[in-house]
Structure 1
């Protein structure tokens, strides 16, 4: 059921509060309060924002369902949206990533600066996770591992491709990297680990696989 932001019991930053009050609602699952975007005919944003909120909503619903099914598991922790990243922070992040930010990722950052527990307890990185921190260090070590043995080249990227982490699991064996490869401009995300790999053109495709709306096989390199 829906609710007002006052019932969250926390003080939201003014920019994030304003967005939630205009486009979102709050759902309650016992003591868990989840802020989610408004959908369908109730979406009062532009078409791009409506599409963005749809794939965020699906992901949040999937992670919330995981948590309700197994509330004691660290891998099924509730999803956590964050206050948005402003234009100056996104520009700074783009410099750290060493590549143009994919439009869907940019739009997501304007809504939420990353996301806690995106999948199996793994966070989706944002500006606040750079330029240092334990999660980022783990992601960069995994990146060094896969590029050191040319996994990205074996899977179809050029040797000059630029990869930057946007997600890594707890033991540094699975990660998602944003890609800039002039020879394969349609390959913007590389999800790799445990012997599997897949490429995605947009962040919405990554979200749809993570939420179970689309199959991994639609994007797998096998």
Structure 2
């Protein structure tokens, strides 16, 4: 499935859920943002210190982040001072202090936050495993640990938890 169709499905699910909560939509309001500018994508990739996975780059080219899930999918604008990028960095430091080696992440593995919840207890990271594993995304927090090959897999899982069976550890 193409990223554009997948983002459309995700938004349809979020909007349906939003209005199912109450006629006034009392839940988290789904927000799709304008696409990230190419220069902003290049700056964010440089900040990440690793090449973006193709699906995440496509996602940011369609919408510079996405709100409506318990986790906010971060875009370029979230890394401005005072943005959720700061919360994501705080969560990253917490994760690094919690011994990620238990699930197969070495302390030297570059982790770049692509999603975080507002209370900094869950997040999704782009991981650069330098060819050691095919998974590029790690969802962790509140006792969960899920690994996904691509960002499209992350979106599909967020949209329908039963749609994927992610690995819980990179350890074999």
Q: Quick check: 2:79–2:86 contact (8 Å CA) kept in 1? A: no
- Which one has the bigger strand percentage? 1
**Equivalent residue, structure 2, for 1:196:** 144
Unaligned 5+ segments in structure 1 are 1-49
Provide the rounded CA distance (Å) in 1 between the counterparts of 2:151 and 2:64.
14
Aligned equivalents of 1:220, 1:169: Cα separation in 2: 21
Matched, 1:101 2:49: no
Tell me how far apart the structure 2 counterparts of residues 141 and 108 of structure 1 sit (CA, whole Å): 24
Q: CA deviation at 1:77?
A: 2.2
Equivalence map 1:38-49=2 (5 Å):
none
Match of 1:61? 12
| Number of the residue aligned with 1:43 | none
1:208 aligns with 2:159: no
Aligned to 1:79: 30
Show the counterpart of 1:126: 75
- One of 97, 109, 130 as aligned partner of 1:182: 130
Query: Normalization by structure 1: what TM-score?
Result: 0.70
Instruction: Give the total of aligned pairs.
Output: 168
Partner Cα distance (2:51, 2:64) in 1: 17
CA contact (8 A) 1:96 1:131 kept: no
Normalised by the length of structure 2, the TM-score is 0.88
Higher Cα Rg, which structure: 1
Q: Quick one: distance in 2 between partners of 1:100 and 1:131?
A: 20
2:77–2:83 contact (8 Å) kept in structure 1: no
Give the structure 2 partner of residue 10 of structure 1. Answer: none
Structure 1 position 213, deviation (Å): 6.1
Deviation at 1:158, TM superposition (A): 2.5
Any conservation in 2 of the 1:157–1:184 contact (CA below 8 Å)?
no
CA displacement, residues 52-82 of structure 1 (integer Å, 9 cap, x when unaligned): 12211221111111101114676x3232111
Structure 1 residue 220, shift from structure 2 partner = 3.8
Q: With CA pairs under 8 Å and 6+ residues apart, which has the higher RCO, 1 or 2?
A: 2
CA distance in 1, matches of 2:32, 2:47: 22
Separation in 1 of the partners of 2:113 and 2:4? Answer: 23
Alignment match, 1:34: none
Q: Does 1:135 align with 2:84?
A: yes
Report what 1:158 is aligned to: 106
